């Protein structure tokens, strides 16, 4: 079973919770565990917040795009923006690194994504935007252990 959804919304902080819930609702069709749903909601929140705050610098005229693909029990989530891009991906993905300390950003977004997902891929071009692809193999609540 392969299925997908694509969602676009204004780069407004208040849409972050909508994105979390929409992705969780979509993946619920494969009956993930509560922990898996919470992990995915957390990483979607982190990635969307990064797009809004860092990529677009809170310019609500811009658009964040999320694509979710389900292939059997594997979930792939892609969060894209066409914002300013990441100058140094290696540096940006280090724990505690933030370009917005004045906003009390912890710099743990990418670390959280790495810890909650099986795979994370970050591509970015200055002035063109950033794409974060997250993959996780889920366990089914219906599977007998």
* Residue ranges of domains in the chain: 2-137
Known catalytic membership, residue 38: no
Q: pLDDT tens across 100-145, in order?
A: 555 555 556 777 888 899 999 999 999 999 999 999 999 866 544 3
Nearest to 57 by CA among 89, 102, 7, 90: 102
pTM: 0.87
Q: pLDDT tens across 40-98, in order?
A: 999 999 999 989 988 898 899 999 999 999 999 999 999 999 999 988 777 776 665 56
Burial readout 28-52 (b: 16 or more C-beta within 10 A, e: otherwise) = eebebeeebbebbbbbbbbbbbbbb
Instruction: Tell me what pLDDT residue 29 has.
Output: 94
What fold is seen in the domain 2-137?
Heat Shock Protein 90 (3.30.565)
User: How far are the Cα atoms of 44, 76, 85, 117 from residue 82, in angstroms, in the given order?
Assistant: 17, 20, 8, 24
Token output for 20? 């979390």
Known catalytic membership, residue 46: yes
Known catalytic membership, residue 50: yes
Q: What are residue 78's DSSP bridge partners?
A: 67, 133
Token output for 18? 């909508």
Q: What are residue 64's DSSP bridge partners?
A: 9
Q: Which of 20, 36, 50, 62 is catalytic?
A: 50
Q: Which of 16, 20, 36, 46 is catalytic?
A: 46
Q: Which of 15, 74, 105, 114 is catalytic?
A: 105
Measured between alpha carbons, how far is 118 from 72 in angstroms, rounded to an integer?
A: 16
């Amino acid at each position: 079973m392969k299925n997908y959804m694509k969602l676009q919304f204004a780069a407004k902080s208040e849409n972050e919770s909508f994105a979390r819930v929409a992705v969780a609702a979509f993946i619920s069709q494969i009956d993930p565990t509560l922990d898996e749903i919470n992990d995915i909601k957390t990483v979607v929140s982190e990635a969307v917040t990064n797009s809004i705050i860092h990529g677009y610098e809170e310019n609500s005229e811009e658009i964040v795009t999320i694509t979710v693909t389900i292939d059997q029990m594997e979930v792939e989530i892609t969060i894209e923006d066409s914002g300013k891009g990441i100058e140094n991906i290696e540096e940006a993905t280090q724990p505690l690194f933030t370009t917005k300390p004045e906003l009390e950003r912890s710099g743990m977004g990418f670390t959280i994504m790495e810890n909650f997902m099986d795979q994370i891929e970050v591509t970015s071009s200055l002035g063109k935007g950033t794409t974060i692809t997250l993959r996780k193999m889920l366990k089914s609540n219906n599977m007998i252990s």
